[in-house]
Amino acid sequence: MSTAIERHRYDVVVIGAGGAGLRAAIEARLAGKRTAIISKSLFGKAHTVMAEGGAAAAMGNVNSNDNWMVHFRDTMRGGKFLNNFRMAELHAKEAPERIWELETYGALFDRTKDGKISQRNFGGHEYPRLAHVGDRTGLELIRTLQQKIVSLQQEDFAETGSYDSRIRVFQETTITELMLDGDRVAGAFGYYRESGEFLLFEAPAVVLATGGVGRSYKVTSNSWEYTGDGHALALRSGATLINMEFLQFHPTGMVWPPSVKGILVTESVRGDGGVLRNSEGKRFMFDYVPDVFRKQYAETEEEGDRWYDDPDNNRRPPELLPRDEVARAINSEVKAGRGSPAGGVFLDVSTRLPAEQIIKRLPSMHHQFKELADVDITKEPMEVGPTCHYVMGGVEVDPDTGAAFGTVQGLFAAGEVSGGMHGSNRLGGNSLSDLLVFGKRAGEHAAAYVDTLGVRPKPAKIDVAAAAEVALAPLARAGGENPYTLQQDLQAVMGDLVGIIRRAGELTDALKRLQELKARVANVSADGGRLYNPGWHLALDLRNMLVVSECTAKAALEREESRGGHTREDFPKMSPEWRRVNLVCSLDEAGEVHLERKPVPRMRAELIDLFDRSELAKYMTDEELAEVEAE
Amino acid sequence: MKRHFRVWRGDASGGELRDFDVEVNEGEVVLDIIHRLQATQAPDLACRWNCKAGKCGSCSMEINGMPRLGCMTRMSTFTEDETITVTPIRTFPVIRDLVTDVSFNYEKARETPAFAPPPGVAPGDYRMRQVDVERSQEFRKCIECFLCQNTCHVIRDHDENKPAFSGPRFFIRAAELDMHPLDDRADRKEYAQASQGLGYCNITKCCTEVCPEHIKITDNAIIPMKERVVDRRYDPLVWLGRKIFRRDELESASAKPSSAHPSAPHPPTANPSAANPPTVNPPMSSARLPQTAPVGPDGHMDIAELVAPQQGGLSPFGEDIEFPLPPEQISYHHPDPDKSPDH
Ligand SMILES: Cc1cc2nc3c(=O)[nH]c(=O)nc-3n(C[C@H](O)[C@H](O)[C@H](O)COP(=O)(O)OP(=O)(O)OC[C@H]3O[C@@H](n4cnc5c(N)ncnc54)[C@H](O)[C@@H]3O)c2cc1C
Ligand code: SF4
Ligand code: SF4
Ligand code: FES
């Protein structure tokens, strides 16, 4: 077996070719840096391609009352005030610019009557705010960024005769380890999936944009790529993760047929009039409006229905509550025996919109149900249930620059892999805009960081050799465990014991089982050679999934309250004391996960003023409120 | 229930169809079965996938000889005793098993000139009408599964045409930009003809037939592009007219050509709202006028294709061939790079 290692030198290496990674790479290249983009799958197929609903930006095209302050407020409310306020602020302020910029790259969003970008309603957003293209917004976003990169490459070609001279895409390439020189990032080590050959990037700055962790769950909307690589790479290089206990379970995943269980049914179905019913035909969401949201949601079906046409004078239907609320409600209905035959509830648009409207507004949902479940959504309801969808927690970063906290320098993170922005629960549509806003910032600041360096950090030979050895181990080992079995076992532990509803006993049990799995994963083996070998690839991803799962389980055990994407049956209430706490994970020398409590940064006074005192009282301690009053 | 599968296994040096008996459950798709094979019998079986929902275009393969997405091919479409034969897409070199080297497509993408933003229109000031963007939006639905590329006979088994021919995926890209209301380049059609090899296409419609997004590649992109290239080449007057008029307006204009007046044809658009006084309101459309799409009376493109029993044109394999083929008739031959095809 050859251990030849291909070497490359770049100024900025972006790991991940989803929305965040591509936007970061564009910015780094525009700042004149030689940039590499690395992606596990083919260029243009990252997870972002699957996003359906839209990208939230307070452009005010549909309702001119919308502005960044309203968007900021919605985001903080959605995240139950645990968000990093500065990130939420930057996001709300900069999202419109980032969306408009996409049009200059060639994006074609759906339009309003007066020719502007159309915006649609979504759960938790006060006004129609999501820029969209039918229900394939993610495809438009990633294709646009992909094509912008091509256009930059064409400029470089005209100037230098080589498309790859300033920005190069390494597709189907997986990074397994970051290289450090002291505390500074020196590069990244990985392999080509196609050939199994190794490569080493020497680069002083790395941007992580690797997306999420959902593959650790059995029922998930996430693809094989979501193994938490970026989270694990960050931990191993000395960075920290925050709030890993918060996972978003999307309320509406497909539940039938079994093979597509988890695949997403976009929230726009509800935004466009779809309603949830239990097996008794009841619109049960009216029974599940929590006190904090009581004022904003309709109390009767009639009022809810009127809202679609006259949102200024009616309150929205409770089907549009934030995702965590809807997911829990569905969970409760099913548990109470009022579920659908396949163990979900019914989501119905067929009785709410004429067939041609449904096909026009939700073409890919129509297509998806037709093709995968043989259900015609213009005639029958869909069966849906919660599915693991998004991780709110992630790499702890500086809000303005995206630089990772902890001991490491030169590491940046953006997109789903970073944490803080969404607090305990993400609003639909806030991710796509997050990718653009913080992708740009991370690219810009990674480039600026490179300029501050005198000498370039160098990867140590011994580290490179060690990384190669770790990568080859599963192939060299004979008779070890099957990686697919291990993955199933891990998914079972996480799904059953660290799922939507959590209990102390089960979490303790989960931690014990994760330790056992750790020992088994250390003994995983893969048959076949290095050439495009998915068994080997999975074997290498497993250790990342495992360490990230451990962070989630540990933090979930620690946080004794229920908030957003973290529900503890034994602590069902939201606690103002816990709102002041971020849970931060790090790795020690021995590779053990450490958990630490850190205070949530305090919101600036002018931002606090955007909220009613009565609203703040639902989230804050008396002491905090007194301080607010004093200001 | 166990079902019989034949899956091509091998790499660039050669390979063969291997037999598998594998469990199949209700509601599963071919990709599920491939995954089950990986988990139980062939852990190193190579296959691309991401979304499992027909959104990413990764899982292209040939199932009983038909180019398809593995994740969108339901097992219930086969009879219970049927053998299912899965082979890699044939137009691109095999890397391993069902994974092929599709870099051809990324090279062609790089050669296709990018969107040219209209000079002088600031971000945020782009104004376009829904009917105008819908034509290009149809082509932007493309998930880059490359099934159309795989099917097109110009390059299927004809590697020698690859340098000169970009393929249907990139014809729709050119058409998309051609119809983009604000794209600043006016030579998309000429480019497609001169540099993308549009002339090789003889409108067999095979590409449309296999497109999982039901994009009418031939009717809505290739034919209009060809038509207009021809018009422009041979009829300078019509060419001038095309520059100035939308196609529907041209019909009446050609009856009374004297009325040709460059500033006239701009259709009145939605009233500038209060927030956009006319002085700062940029044009709804670019100066270069888009040609009409097949827009219905409701102002939208028709969706007949979605409900038609068969979309697009005729079967690429001939109307008299029925799928799936009997397994003994399927012989996947890996193209030998050293030998040029003998036909
Ligand atoms: C079905 C679905 C629907 C959604 N709908 C919406 C929506 O409507 N609105 C919204 O705002 N959000 C939505 N989301 C969420 C949103 O799509 C994601 O959070 C977002 O796309 C993540 O983007 P990203 O750039 O962080 O990462 P991704 O787009 O996931 O990209 C990750 C990239 O990192 C690469 N990578 C990972 N690990 C490695 C490694 N070790 N080495 C090299 N490369 C690596 C991957 O190959 C990939 O290219 C949806 C998500 C799903 C699953
Ligand atoms: S119509 Fe036929 S020849 Fe033309 S691009 Fe499509 S498949 Fe190829
Ligand atoms: S045009 Fe259709 S068949 Fe061709 S790559 Fe795009 S989606 Fe696939
Ligand atoms: S897996 Fe994405 S299209 Fe089949």
B2-96 classified as CATH 3.20.20.70 = no
Quick one: what percent of chain A has pLDDT higher than 90?
A: 80
Tell me the whole-structure pTM to 2 decimals. 0.85
User: Who has greater pLDDT, B58 or B237?
Assistant: B58
| In the predicted structure, residue B260 carries a pLDDT above the cut 50 | no
The segment(s) of chain B belonging to CATH 1.10.1060.10 are 102-253+292-334
Ligand 4 atom closest to the CA of B69, numbered from 1: 4
| CATH code, domain carrying A495 | 1.20.58.100
- For residue A59, being part of any structural domain is answered with yes
Quick one: what percent of chain B has pLDDT higher than 90?
A: 59
Statement to judge: residues A545 and A407 lie in one domain: no
Rounded to the nearest whole angstrom, what is the distance from the C-alpha of residue B310 to the centroid of ligand 3? 17
Task: Give the domain-ending residue among A368, A387, A406.
Answer: A387
On whether ipTM exceeds 0.95, the answer is: no
Element (H, E) at A398: none
Query: What band does B297 get if pLDDT is binned at 50, 70 and 90?
Result: low
A134 CA: distance to closest CA in chain B (Å): 10
Q: What is the pLDDT of residue B339?
A: 58
| In the predicted structure, residue B201 carries a pLDDT above the cut 80 | yes
Lowest-pLDDT choice from A322-326, A552-556, B294-298, B321-325: B294-298
On average, the pLDDT of chain A sits at 93
Task: Give the domain-ending residue among A538, A557, A576.
Answer: A576
- For residue A603, being part of any structural domain is answered with no
B128-163 pLDDT, tens digit each? 999 999 999 999 999 999 999 999 999 998 999 999
Q: What is the pLDDT of residue B53?
A: 86
Q: What is the pLDDT of residue B246?
A: 44
| In the predicted structure, residue B265 carries a pLDDT above the cut 80 | no
* SS percent in chain B: helix, strand, coil, step 5: 35, 10, 50
Query: What band does A268 get if pLDDT is binned at 50, 70 and 90?
Result: confident
Q: Which residue in the set B43, B49, B51 is minimally distant from A49, CB to CB? A: B51
| In the predicted structure, residue A425 carries a pLDDT above the cut 60 | yes
Residue carrying structure tokens 């100037």: A159
**Rounded mean pLDDT, B283-299:** 46
**Rounded mean pLDDT, B39-62:** 93
Statement to judge: residues A33 and A146 lie in one domain: yes
User: Who has greater pLDDT, B236 or A580?
Assistant: A580
Statement to judge: residues A429 and A377 lie in one domain: no
Statement to judge: residues A289 and A207 lie in one domain: no
What b-and-e string marks burial along A474-496, b requiring 16 or more CB atoms within 10 Å of the CB? bbeeeebbbbbebbebbbebbbe
Containing domain of residue A293, as a range?
A: 250-387
Query: What band does B251 get if pLDDT is binned at 50, 70 and 90?
Result: very low
Q: Which residues, other chains included, contact B167 with Cβ-Cβ below 8 Å and sequence gap of 6+?
A: B105, B108, B148, B149, B152, B154, B155
A201 CA: distance to closest CA in chain B (Å): 22
Instruction: Say if ligand 2 is within 6 A of residue B12 CB.
Output: no
Identity of the residue numbered B186: A
B43–A526 CB contact, under 8 Å: yes
Q: What is the pLDDT of residue B247?
A: 45
Statement to judge: residues A202 and A308 lie in one domain: no
B102-253+292-334 classified as CATH 1.10.1060.10 = yes
Statement to judge: residues A354 and A305 lie in one domain: yes
Lowest-pLDDT choice from A160-164, A212-216, A323-327: A323-327
User: Who has greater pLDDT, B278 or A305?
Assistant: A305
| CATH code, domain carrying A236 | 3.50.50.60
- For residue A602, being part of any structural domain is answered with no
- For residue A620, being part of any structural domain is answered with no
| In the predicted structure, residue B330 carries a pLDDT above the cut 80 | no
Task: Give the pocket of ligand 3 (CB within 6 Å).
Answer: B 57, 142-148, 168-169, 172, 210-213, 215, 217
Element (H, E) at A475: helix A461-476
Rounded CA-CA distance A133/B146 in Å is: 22
| CATH code, domain carrying A287 | 3.90.700.10
Quick one: what percent of chain B has pLDDT higher than 70?
A: 67
A15 CA: distance to closest CA in chain B (Å): 18
Q: What is the pLDDT of residue B252?
A: 45
Statement to judge: residues A51 and A157 lie in one domain: yes
**Rounded mean pLDDT, A101-122:** 95
- For residue A611, being part of any structural domain is answered with no
Q: What is the pLDDT of residue B238?
A: 44
The segment(s) of chain B belonging to CATH 3.10.20.30 are 2-96
| In the predicted structure, residue A290 carries a pLDDT above the cut 90 | no
Residue A91 annotated among the catalytic residues of the structure: no
Q: What DSSP string describes A583-599?
A: EEEEE-TTS-EEEEEEE
Task: Give the domain-ending residue among A387, A405, A427.
Answer: A387
Of all protein residues, whose CA lies closest to atom 7 belonging to ligand 2? B152
Query: What band does A221 get if pLDDT is binned at 50, 70 and 90?
Result: confident
Query: What band does A280 get if pLDDT is binned at 50, 70 and 90?
Result: very high
**Rounded mean pLDDT, A545-573:** 95
Query: What band does B242 get if pLDDT is binned at 50, 70 and 90?
Result: very low
Statement to judge: residues A106 and A66 lie in one domain: yes
Residue A250 annotated among the catalytic residues of the structure: yes
Q: What is the pLDDT of residue B250?
A: 43
Query: What band does B280 get if pLDDT is binned at 50, 70 and 90?
Result: very low
| In the predicted structure, residue B340 carries a pLDDT above the cut 80 | no
How many domains does the structure of chain A reveal? 3
Q: What is the pLDDT of residue A571?
A: 94
Statement to judge: residues A209 and A353 lie in one domain: no
Identity of the residue numbered B9: R
Size of interface A-B (CB pairs under 8 A): 197
- For residue A581, being part of any structural domain is answered with no
| In the predicted structure, residue B253 carries a pLDDT above the cut 60 | no
- For residue A472, being part of any structural domain is answered with no
- For residue A72, being part of any structural domain is answered with yes
Statement to judge: residues A258 and A240 lie in one domain: no
Q: What is the pLDDT of residue A440?
A: 98
**Rounded mean pLDDT, A140-159:** 97
| In the predicted structure, residue B284 carries a pLDDT above the cut 60 | no
Q: What is the pLDDT of residue A371?
A: 81
**Rounded mean pLDDT, A413-435:** 96
| Sheet containing A275-277: order of strands | A247-254, A382-391, A345-348, A275-277
Q: What is the pLDDT of residue A263?
A: 86
Q: At B68, list the tokens.
A: 């398809």
Statement to judge: residues A230 and A260 lie in one domain: no
User: Which chain B residues are within 8 Å of A133, Cβ to Cβ?
Assistant: 137, 140
Residue carrying structure tokens 């996003």: A51
Statement to judge: residues A137 and A199 lie in one domain: yes
Residue B75's SS3 state is helix
Q: Please report the sign of the dihedral spanned by the C-alpha atoms of residue B270, residue B276, residue B278, residue B279.
A: negative
Residue carrying structure tokens 């910032």: A441
Strands B84-87 and B2-11, bridge-based pairing: parallel
